[in-house]
Structure formats: structure tokens, C-alpha cells
Amino acid sequence: MIAFIDDHRGAHGVEPICKVLPIAPSTYHAHVAKRRDPAKLSARARQDAALKIEVRRVFDQNFSVYGARKVWRQLKREGFDVARCTVSRLMRDMGLQGVIRGKSVKTTINVLAAPIFAAMDRLAQPQADKDDQLLAIRLAHVAVSMPHEDHDELIARVVDLPQPLSGKRTLLTAMVLDGQILDADLVMSAIDEWLAAAASDPTTAWHKRQNTWEIEPWLELLPFTTRPEAVLDGLANVKTFYGRDWAQRWERVLSAVAAVPGPEGIALLTSLARAHKDIADDHAWMQAIFNRGSLESVLLYVDLFIERVLGTDPHGVDAWHVGRQLAEYAQSLPELKSELRNRYETVGNGPGRAMLEHFFGEAASEIDLLAMIAKYAANNQSYDGQIARAVESVAVDRVPVAEGSNAYSVYPAPVESLRKSLFDQLSGSSMNVPIAKKCLEAIDRLRDEHGIAANDTRHPDVTSERPRPPEAV
């Protein structure tokens, strides 16, 4: 109604419109005054305005797939004191909706889950016998795995039942998949209990060291607790039990940490790589970090590779392989190229530099090539195949003949500005001259093979020893 008056007040005036609509002019003017001066808003309206910014941030950071429940859980994890119904109302006001598996179904009650929760309520009583309590735990696992209404108090009551933690693991896993945050102390207690039981019986300890299927699911839960960093301590305790002679890989724990969203997930991945790099091989680390698909995650792997935290396995990923992967991500992350170039300008000799130069060989721009020339000259290096690939990457465009095809059509790319910069370097320092000259010769060979891009000038080869003509300026 307010919006309607805004749209038509210029033609008809406020009071004539209000005579027709069921709204007083003073009410409309009060709304306008609050819109102009947010200080006149009620405390709830001001709080809603601030919370909407945080709700939108969490929703966008998680690829716009989180519903109200998971957005609320993430806000609670970050320390915001907000009710779940408030998050639902704000998301509804902003038109935000999470991704739903299958077709969207609108219903006021889940007819399948409701009877299960009712049975849980009857069974999950402190005075109930052991069998009833265990049945309540098993039913809770089923109910939480289904679409359901808010039964957080009942679920918490089931978790607190005085039964062994080992029998609650599947329920806790279902709670994590439901978007809930677990108590870190509870999960750590379960890990400590398992370690104590495993170490107390030497006849079965060797069998437990041969397998990880009992303890690894507990470690997977730690990133989704009130203290996600507890996974570092949990891994340290478990690895101590296994020892060097029974060392195991823990790829599933790495995948769980990689699923933690936002900056918190990046920080946790960084700590995990520095403290427990041995839980997975280089390929698993690269896949887990890159699969997050964000600029921050790609740069995290690049930095860890440069620091030699990752990429050190004898049969792991090498600089060429990582460079190829970075070239693919550069197509969907426009800011990646400038970030990699900044790192290249400061990186020392070693695999990190080789990785970035392999990337330039796949997806270099004019600025990248000039940065390579400066780096080569500063290190007293001569023109080589690495820089030749970067020249080719700048001077020709490869276009797939069809979507998903490995066959390409090659076209000349504009190199007017690049050639001008290279010609200017011929009168520069002694180390830049031979590299710039080789680059110009390589560009001329590529122009002979693939043609000259439209509007590129045809100034002479560098081999002619003639100065650049005025028309090339």
C-alpha cells in the first residue's frame, strides 16, 4: 500500500489516495519519516535491518543454498543471539529460499515424521528402561533424517539419555546433516572413550589399529561442533594411539573440514594442513581445497604450495599439474590472475615459482609476460621454453571447435601493445634486451604461422636491426 502511494502521489496527491485506501495520511507520512531517518524506527525494525545484512552474507557465502535452519545455525556459531523464527521471517521478507531436494512441497506438518517424534517423546524418559531409551535413539536418527518441524528440545533430551556414546554416533551424524551444531565436548568424550577402550585390551588393540572405520566417523563430526578446531586435538590423540608403525590416512576427515563454509573453513583448513598434512596425499589435499571453488580456497592452496607445506610427496602433484589446474580456475575467477601475478613478483626460486610460470604458460596476459621477463632478468636467466610458452599463450587464442572438445582452432591475438613494450625494452638494461628480443622473434614466428590480428601494425622484425617505425608508436 505504501509503495502504491509512492508511485501515484505525484499524479493524485497523498490525501485523495488515502481517502480511497484503508490508510490514514498520518500513517503514510510516519512511514516516509522512518524511511528517511532510520533512528525513528522501532528497536525491532533497527535490529531487523542489521540482521538482514548478516543473513544475506551467510546466504551468499554458502552459494545461496542454505535454508533458514542452516543460516540460523551458522549465525549461532558466529555468536549472534537470534531466534530461528526470526531468521525464517527475515529470509521470507527478503525473498531468500534455500535449495530443496526434488520438487518444492508446501505443508504445515510432516505426516511421516510427526508420529516418530511422538514415539520418541514417550520413550525418551529418564525413568524408561534401557531398551526404550535405545529405541528412542534409533528413532531419533530416522526422524532427524526426514523433513521435520522444530523439535530441538526433544532431540537434545534424546542425546542426553544415559546410554553409551557409541550408540549415538549415527544420530549425531544425522543432526549434522540436518544443519545442527554439536557439542564439541560430547564428541571429544566419545573419542576419548574409544581410545581408552582400545588401549585397555591388548588382544584387540592391533585389530583396531588395522582399521579406522570405528573412530574416523567421530573425527568427521568435530568440524561441525561448537569448537571446529577441536579436530586438530582429536587427530593428534588418535594418531598417537596408532603410532608411526600403524600410520593411517584420514581423507574423510579432510573432506569434512573442507566442507566447513566461509572464512572459518579456510582458517581451519590452513591449520589442518600445517599440523596434520600427513592425513592425506597431495592429490587429496588439492582436490579438497580446490573443490570449494572460491578465490580464497584456490589462493590458500597456492600459498601452501609456495611455502612447501603441500606438494612435497615424491609421487604427488607437481608444479606443472597445479599450474594447469590454476589455468582452469582463472576462467571462472577473474581476480585470480592478478593475485597470482602479485605472488610471482615476490616468490623466490623453487617449485612455487615454477608452478606460477606453468600457469602463465597456459593463461598468461601481457602484464604476466612482462613480469616474467623482469624476473628472468633479475635472476640473470636466459630465454627458455617456459617463457616461450607464455609468449605463445599471449600471442594466439585457442578456441575449442565444440563445447567440451579437446580440438582447438588457433587464431592470432592482438599483440600491438605487447610488441611496443618489448621494443621499448631493447634500449633498457643489458639483461632485458636479449629476452625481449627473443620474445619479439617468437611473436613474429607465430604471426607468420597463424597470421596477424586485425588492426595490428606490421612494423619490421626485430632481426632486421631497424628501429621501430613511427607508425608503430
Boundary of a domain, candidates 154, 176, 198:
176
A 10 A CB-CB count for 125 gives: 13
Q: Are residues 387 and 471 in the same domain?
A: yes
Q: In the block, which residue shows the cell 627458455?
A: 384
Q: What is the mean pLDDT of residues 255-271?
A: 91
The pTM score is: 0.72
- Does 393 fall in a domain? yes
pLDDT band, very low/low/confident/very high, at 67 (cuts 50, 70, 90): confident
Say if residues 155 and 140 touch (Cβ distance below 8 Å). yes
d(CA 263, CA 269): 10
**pLDDT category of residue 336 using cuts at 50, 70 and 90:** very high
**Is residue 429 very low, low, confident or very high in pLDDT (cuts 50, 70, 90)?**
low
How confident is the model at residue 27, as a pLDDT?
Answer: 78
pLDDT, average across residues 297-313: 94
> Considering 133, 149, 176, which residue would you say is the last residue of a domain?
176
Residue 316 — pLDDT band, cuts 50, 70, 90? confident
Of the segments 22-26, 354-358, 397-401, 457-461, which one has the largest average pLDDT value? 354-358
pLDDT at 63 over 80: no
Q: Of residues 295 and 16, which shows the higher confidence score? A: 295
Q: Average pLDDT, stretch 176-188?
A: 90
Give the pLDDT confidence score for residue 108 in this predicted structure.
Answer: 46
pLDDT score of 269? 95
The per-residue pLDDT for 301 is: 96
Q: For residues 38 and 143, state if they share a domain.
A: no
* pLDDT at residue 72 in the model: 85
How many structural domains does the chain have? Answer: 3
The answer to whether residues 63 and 142 belong to one domain is no
Q: Which of 176, 193, 218 is the last residue of a domain?
A: 176
Range of the domain at 380: 364-473
Does residue 218 register a pLDDT over 50?
yes
**According to the model, what pLDDT value does residue 473 have?**
46
State residue 464's pLDDT score: 61
Average predicted confidence (pLDDT) for the chain: 85
CA distance 144 to 155: 8
Lowest mean pLDDT of 52-61, 188-197, 371-380, 428-437, name the range: 428-437
Which pLDDT value is given to residue 300?
A: 95
Regarding whether 392 and 444 lie in a shared domain, the answer is: yes
Return the pLDDT at 103.
44
Question: Are 392 and 433 within one domain?
Answer: yes
So what's the pLDDT on residue 233? 95
CB neighbours of 434 closer than 8 A, spacing ≥ 6? Answer: 382, 383
Q: Which residues of 328-361 are buried (b: 16+ CB within 10 A; e: fewer)?
A: ebbeebeebbeebbebbeebeeebbbbbbbbbbb
Q: Is residue 299 part of a domain?
A: no
Give the residue-averaged pLDDT of 279-299: 92
274 located within any domain: no
Mean pLDDT, rounded, for 422-443 = 86
How many of the other CB atoms lie within 10 Å of CB of 154? 17
Confidence of residue 216 (pLDDT cuts 50, 70, 90): very high
Average pLDDT of the segment spanning 36-51:
77
pLDDT in tens, 186-208: 999 999 998 888 888 777 777 77
- Same domain? For 78 and 120 the reply is no
Considering the chain, what percentage of its residues have pLDDT values greater than 90? Answer: 43
pLDDT at 14: 73
Residue 132 in any domain: the answer is: yes
Report yes or no on 354 lying in a domain.
no
Based on the fold, state whether residues 138 and 59 are members of the same structural domain: no
79 with 122, same domain: the answer is no
Express each pLDDT in 403-426 by its tens digit: 767 787 888 889 988 988 888 888
The per-residue pLDDT for 255 is 93
Q: Is residue 28 part of a domain?
A: yes
Predicted pLDDT at 1: 66
Find the mean pLDDT for residues 79-86.
Answer: 83
Residues 371 and 462 in one domain: yes
- CA dist 27 and 454 (Å) reads 64
Residues 123 and 83 both lie in one domain: no
pLDDT (mean) for 215-228: 93
Q: Both 373 and 435 in a single domain?
A: yes
Residue 58 lies in a domain: yes
- For residues 90 and 117, membership in a common domain is answered with no
Predicted confidence at residue 187, as pLDDT, reads: 95
445 in a structural domain: yes
